[in-house]
Amino acid sequence: MSGSLVIVGLGPGSSDLLTPAAARALKAATDLVGYGPYLDRIPAASVNQRRHASGNRVEIERAGHALKLAAEGNKVAVVSGGDPGVFAMAAAVFEAIEAGDPAWRELDIRIEPGITAMLAAAAEVGAPLGADFCAISLSDNLKSWQTIERRLRAAAEGDFVIALYNPASRARPHQLGRAFDLLREAKSPESIVLFVRSAATPEARVVTTVLAEADAALADMRTLVIIGAAATRLISRGARRPWVYTPRAEQEVVR
Amino acid sequence: MSGSLVIVGLGPGSSDLLTPAAARALKAATDLVGYGPYLDRIPAASVNQRRHASGNRVEIERAGHALKLAAEGNKVAVVSGGDPGVFAMAAAVFEAIEAGDPAWRELDIRIEPGITAMLAAAAEVGAPLGADFCAISLSDNLKSWQTIERRLRAAAEGDFVIALYNPASRARPHQLGRAFDLLREAKSPESIVLFVRSAATPEARVVTTVLAEADAALADMRTLVIIGAAATRLISRGARRPWVYTPRAEQEVVR
């Protein structure tokens, strides 16, 4: 087959954080496929480039449509926020390949990585992911809340820094509060909690607090929540927002 | 103070994966500070730009040197492989700030994120990080092996996909083998294991195997090791290397 499909990570939003490889892949495509607001970020490459916008939450249909276009001989770019491999479009494309036309397995498929939200959020505040960490999506559209709880407990047990993707949406307003409740049972009330909204954009907003006081209402779908490990700490800077970082070494326990 | 310090993520190596923001920060610096081989990747911006190369494993000294240069009024860029916030230079800089001259807290400090190794490695093979995952550094230079074991156990308990950074070095040849032994007790022997060496470079090399057969000798300092969750799976493609991905939904258990 002569068609190809590349799954492109747009990063957090600004073209400043789009890799040259990703920009080139977008330019070379005959067809751009993606969630409407992501497509709107991409400058037109030529009058012949087609755009196929779809709504949120239809990832598998979108992936199947993109694969069909590629199988017809087109050069397709599937656009994804952040990094395609982290709670984004790449897994949906491979799900569609596995369930779909066997000929799709012969397609030329590539992934162009991007800056995922937790890296941009961490860069806003210091180096909170400086030691071992985990990333958990709080969305239970595709997995049970029981699995999410099991992973939160394990993350606390391992004293990982925790990055929470998809912490809240209009359809799921209560999950982050339940996650905080669970973590309050397993972690110190003084654990640092960061709400980083719209990281790496001019609208970036950071709230730094502790687990005992963390208010789930501060999060929406544009927010990444980071919960520190035992060693995660603040560097105060007078009137300015403190830096937050996790030292590479273990916390020295004062006895 | 008029000086500034930016911690710049170079990504996996190729300039194709260096963000425009990072490239601009490198160009604007009067002083580049970093591990020699990383500095060698950066084209000269001007004859006046100074380069301060240091060896590996002297992160805190390097960070202190960079902060001193910034405090003297220079525009300093500290270069870091991958993303500065993930097992790289950002945490070292904040450790140096906390322990160092209080005036350093007044400096203008920024972080430019980059593509970290696990994103590049995942893009080589499909979407192995497609569900909840964790990142663990196997280096015990700065933390105890006991802590590493605790985190590996927790990662298995939570059924996270596991990305292992720094899996092996000449000074630590046996740790990855010990990690595999521990994970064999806690996870299915059929768990998928990926060795991805020099991801996102022309020398990229991938070995796909299962936990029961994973040979730690396949890893060196340029390798990122990914150990799948229960749901992580292969898509076979005849003679070509299979795709590996973790579906967004939980594995359907066939009883």
- Is B118-245 in the same CATH topology as B4-115? no
Quote the crossing angle between the two packed helices A175-186 and A145-157, to the nearest 10°.
Answer: 30
Q: How many CB atoms lie within 10 A of CB A127?
A: 28
Q: How confident is the model at residue A44 (pLDDT cuts 50, 70, 90)?
A: confident
What is the pLDDT averaged over residues A214-219? 96
CB-based contact A8:A78 (threshold 8 Å):
yes
Amino acid at A97: I
Closest CB from B59, B111, B157 relative to A123: B111
CB-based contact B135:B201 (threshold 8 Å):
no
Distance from CA of B168 to the nearest CA of A (A): 16
Q: Do A131 and B243 touch (CB under 8 A)?
A: no
With b meaning 16 or more CB within 10 Å and e meaning fewer, what string describes A149-172? eebbbbbbbbbbbbbbbbbbeeeb
Q: Using one digit for the tens of pLDDT, what is the confidence trace for B109-130?
A: 999 999 999 999 999 999 999 9
Kindly list the domain boundaries of chain A, sorted by start residue.
4-115, 118-245
Q: Using one digit for the tens of pLDDT, what is the confidence trace for A237-246?
A: 988 999 999 9
Closest CB from A90, A120, A151 relative to B132: A151
Give the residue on B whose Cα is nearest the Cα of A149. Answer: B158
Q: What is the pTM of this model?
A: 0.96
Q: How confident is the model at residue A50 (pLDDT cuts 50, 70, 90)?
A: very high
For residue B102, what is the DSSP state?
G
* pLDDT for A254: 40
Residues of A in contact with B91 (CB under 8 A): 127, 130-131, 245-248
Residues of B in contact with A135 (CB under 8 A): 132-134
Q: Using one digit for the tens of pLDDT, what is the confidence trace for B73-108?
A: 999 999 999 999 999 999 999 999 999 999 999 999
Between residues A168 and B122, the one the model is more confident about: B122
Q: Which CATH class is domain A4-115?
A: alpha beta
In total, chain A counts a number of residues equal to 255
- What six digits make up the tokens of B171? 């000074």
Q: What element of type H or E holds A37?
A: helix A36-39
- What six digits make up the tokens of A17? 């954080």
Closest CB from A91, A115, A132 relative to B19: A115
Q: Give the CB-side neighbour count of residue A220, counting CA atoms within 13 A.
A: 6
Tell me the fold of A118-245. 3.30.950
- What six digits make up the tokens of B97? 């700030």
Burial class of B244 by CB neighbour count within 10 A (0 to 12, 13 to 18, 19+): buried
ipTM score assigned to the predicted complex: 0.96
Residue A95 CA from chain centroid, whole number: 19
Task: Inform me whether the C-beta atom of residue A84 falls under 8 Å from chain B C-beta atoms.
Answer: yes
